[in-house]
Amino acid sequence: MFKSVLLAIRPKTLTAAIVPIMVAASLVQMQEQKLQLWIVACALLSAIFIQIATNFFNDAIDFKKGADTDQRIGPQRVTQSGLMSSQSVFWWAIGFCVLALFFGVPLVYKGGWVIVGIGLLSLFLAYGYTGGPFPLAYKGLGDFFVILFFGLIAVGGVYYLLVESWSVDALVAGLQCGFLATVLIAINNLRDVEQDKLVHKKTLPVRFGVSFAKLEIILLISLSYLLNLYWWFTYKLIWVSLLPLLTLPLAVVLIYKLLMTKPSKIYNQFLALSALLQIIFCGLLSIGFLLQ
């Protein structure tokens, strides 16, 4: 059971929840604001549990809708492979939502109704990403969801909790995190384009084609780097502007491989590369904030 639950958690995807919290905390530290570690810890745990709940809901619902079958070329899924029943996976998802809510309560006490709204919407969309009457992933809105929640809201929300105000700085850092997180889901959707067509899962590659999806990925990566100009022209932050550029060779390799390869099982390797790119880029961005 433990191995099955761990597989359903999808540990490699949790960087999408961890990275924006790290970036927000580093940004606050650079601005010499008071860094309350209990807020960072609660935000981190709440974000991780929402991410895990989303993964469990996705596992169960995609199987029910026929998106995950024996022909799946992506990583193994516990419901599709028969390791856990869809009902069991669903209840595990509910449990992780409860944990996210538990760690979110102190944040509500600190941030008020704004955090209530963010928290409730995040919990609802953990299910609504693939379930409900308007599943975002099946309508081609999954990419927008990732930019919003694993970028703008994650960075902006933690920044607001720590500083008690909104900031363009948090917006820019949030976009950088969100764009790179979205690269992961974009590659995932590109890999599964043929199977998604069969079950009418209208992701962006299904709606607009493989070439469009590859262009989207190139654009997301490029914008992440171009936004570094903000840190230079606004504040002349040398470390913040330059350190993330060390990841350019990795980005070039990823883009080249995507352009030269048709969607297939090898895209699982590209997913790993994109996760590595996000971790190192945002890690160097955070280090840059701390060095200023």
Q: For 243, which DSSP code? A: G
CA atoms of 213 and 104, how far apart (whole Å): 35
CB count in 10 Å sphere of residue 177: 28
CA atoms of 90 and 209, how far apart (whole Å): 32
Amino acid at 200: H
Level-2 CATH architecture, domain 2-291:
Orthogonal Bundle (1.10)
| Residues ≥6 apart with Cβ < 8 Å to 143 | 182, 185, 186, 189, 204, 216
Is residue 287 pLDDT above 90, yes or no?
Answer: yes
pLDDT above 90: percentage of residues in the chain: 61
Is residue 70 pLDDT above 70, yes or no?
Answer: no
pLDDT interval class at 183 (50, 70, 90): very high
Amino acid at 12: K
**Domain residue extents for the chain:** 2-291
Give me the residue label for tokens 């809708």.
65
Q: Is the dihedral of CA 286, 239, 180, 11 positive or negative?
A: negative
Which pLDDT belongs to residue 67? 60
CA atoms of 238 and 288, how far apart (whole Å): 8
Among 55-69, 89-103, 109-123, 126-140, the least confident range: 55-69
Q: Which of 217, 219, 192 is nearest to 203 (CA)?
A: 192
Write the CA distances from 196 to 73, 156, 167, 202, integer angstroms: 12, 33, 39, 7
| Arithmetic mean of pLDDT, 94-110 | 92
Is residue 248 pLDDT above 80, yes or no?
Answer: yes
* 3-state SS assignment for residue 76: coil
Which pLDDT belongs to residue 124? 84
CA atoms of 275 and 288, how far apart (whole Å): 20
- 17 and 47 Cβ atoms separated by less than 8 Å: yes
Q: Which of 120, 90, 100 is nearest to 51 (CA)?
A: 100
- 253-261: Cβ within 8 A, 24+ apart: 254/221, 255/217, 255/218, 255/221, 258/187, 258/190, 258/214, 258/217, 258/218, 259/214
Tokens of 217: 């990925």
| Per-residue pLDDT tens digits for 16-37 | 899 999 999 999 999 877 789 9
